[in-house]
Structure formats: C-alpha cells, structure tokens
Structure 1
C-alpha cells in the first residue's frame, strides 16, 4: 500500500519566470547548499532546450530524525531525487522519483507548474511506499510530513531567489 502526498506552492511571479529558476543549475546548487542538508550535492544535470533532467542528493543527520525512522535507518537519511522537467504548452511538468538509501522506500510523483491568478502555482502529487512489514504505513506518514516540510522550504527559497533578482 502507498500513502498519497499533495503539496501546493504559490509564487508571486508567473510560471514563465518561475520555471527557469526551478531548473537553473546555479539555483539548484545554492538551494542544496542552503537547505539540502548533510552531504547535499547536484549529482547530474542535463538541459536540452526547455527540457531539464537532474539528480540531487540530500541528507538529514540521524539526530534530527523521528525515532521510528532512526530505528529503520540506523544512521543518517540519504535521499536521491531525480526530476525530469519539460514544457507542456503554457505549463510545465515534471516526473519525479526519490529513493532513500538503505531502505525499501520510494516516492514517485508528478509536478505541474502553471499560471494562477497574478502569479503561479506548483502542484506536486506523489505516492510514498515504504516496504517494511508492520511499520511501513507509519513510516510513510512520517515521510509525507517531512517531504511536505522540504517542499515548503524549497518554495520559500525559490520565492526569495526570484524576489532578489526581480
């Protein structure tokens, strides 16, 4: 069984201004440096026209993890996140896959960025699966909560980045 995640991030800038930022190599590198956690790095980056693919590594020290997660991991949390973005008419879309090192956990999702009112809206929908008998469902809920916090922090960072460069 999987747990669903939906996260919405509103931006004051239109999608045509937000998209280039979200997939910019310098932005991604600085975002990772600022909020990516232990061992954060941009592992791969490839741009072809308006399509961009990248892989990020993010980390959380074991001391900052909830007890149930610590018990399963036995150490730091290391996450690898792949995103494949493309232009989809007046909107932008991504397919995302996240794996958590040393666990049978995976997140698969989609993101859509489009104009909304005077600004834009990024909607992320994903399925979180943790294949650990008996505690998998509880761990999925913890992962959903933590991913929601991360997405909110990333959106806040992007909004500040855009405002500084407006």
Structure 2
C-alpha cells in the first residue's frame, strides 16, 4: 500500500520570484554543489526552461555505507537517484508541476505533484508525494523512512531557495 505526504514550504518573496529562480540553471547547479558536501557525485543531468515551463533532471549518488541499515539490506551497492522536477508555465494564481525519483533496480517508486501559489506574505510551494515499496514485510518501514528523509530534504531545499533568491535576485 502506498504512503502519501504533503509538505508546504512558505516564502516571504513573490511566487514569480521563486519561479524565476528555479527557471535558471545556475539555481540548480548551485544546489547540486551544496549537496556535494553530503554526496560527492551530484549533478544537473538535463535542464530546460522556456515558454512551456521548466524541467530539470538531477542525479545524485549516495554511498551504500551512508544509507540506513534497513536500506542497506535491500541495496547491495551505492544508491543512484535520478530525480526529475517540472513546472508548467508561470501562472500567477497557481503554477502546477510534477516530480519523481527513481533508483535503478530500486524496490519501489516515488512520484508527486507540486504547486506554487501566492499567499498574503509571499508564496508557498506545496509538494504531495506518494511512495510505494514492493518488498513484503519491510515495505511499510521503507516507505516511512523515505517520507521522513523527504521532509528533511524538502526543508533543506526550502532554506536553500530562500537564501539563493536573497543572494541572487
């Protein structure tokens, strides 16, 4: 059975500013450079931004020895995560997008949708994630572990976004 989680990141700047930041390759390159403190193999694999929206493909390798013990029982080598994020064209009321992550020969799936919308004090990105693990007996524990780690990731990325916008836009 899949598990779902919604996470909202609130920002003090306008939605258009955050969208503008994510529409630049430098934003993503800088983010991957920051991830290299945790995992030395992080890169922007593909990036597109035009009138139809934006799409970025990120690749990150996490050493097996850095994984929680439960994950090490399932994965016998380093974990290579390919993550794709997209947003449609900017809509001042609600910009919608999707994201997913995959691991070659991974034991499950991670998919989600996101929306960027204005608030009275700035804007919010809401991400709703669904994870599913296909391993009997440990699937629920792995799904929960993935969701907990996603919250940490989304929180760190929100802090990064606010800081990047402040310094660059």
**TM-score, normalised by the number of residues in structure 2:** 0.91
CA drift of 1:135 comes to 0.7
**Cα gap change, 1:50/1:17 in structure 2, threshold over 3 Å: closer, same or farther?**
farther
| RMSD across aligned positions (CA) | 1.5
CA drift of 1:76 comes to 2.3
Distance between the aligned counterparts of 2:152 and 2:78, measured in 1? 18
1:106 counterpart residue number: 109
Deviates more, 1:36-45 or 1:77-86: 36-45
Distance between the aligned counterparts of 1:130 and 1:24, measured in 2? 33
1:20 aligned counterpart, secondary structure = helix
2:17 counterpart residue number: 17
Report runs of 4+ in structure 1 exceeding 4 Å deviation: none
Gaps of 5+ in 1: none
Verify the 8 A CA contact 1:38 1:61 in the aligned structure 2.
Answer: no
1:27 aligned counterpart, secondary structure = helix
CA drift of 1:110 comes to 0.3
The reply to whether residue 38 of structure 1 matches residue 26 of structure 2 is no
The reply to whether residue 62 of structure 1 matches residue 47 of structure 2 is no
Deviates more, 1:110-119 or 1:57-66: 57-66
Gaps of 5+ in 2: none
The reply to whether residue 117 of structure 1 matches residue 120 of structure 2 is yes
CA drift of 1:77 comes to 2.2
1:94 to 76, 93, 97: 97
> What CA deviation, in whole Å up to 9, does each residue of 1:10-48 have, x standing for no partner?
111110101111232111011011025331111111222
**TM-score, normalised by the number of residues in structure 1:** 0.92
**Cα gap change, 1:8/1:56 in structure 2, threshold over 3 Å: closer, same or farther?**
same
CA drift of 1:125 comes to 0.1
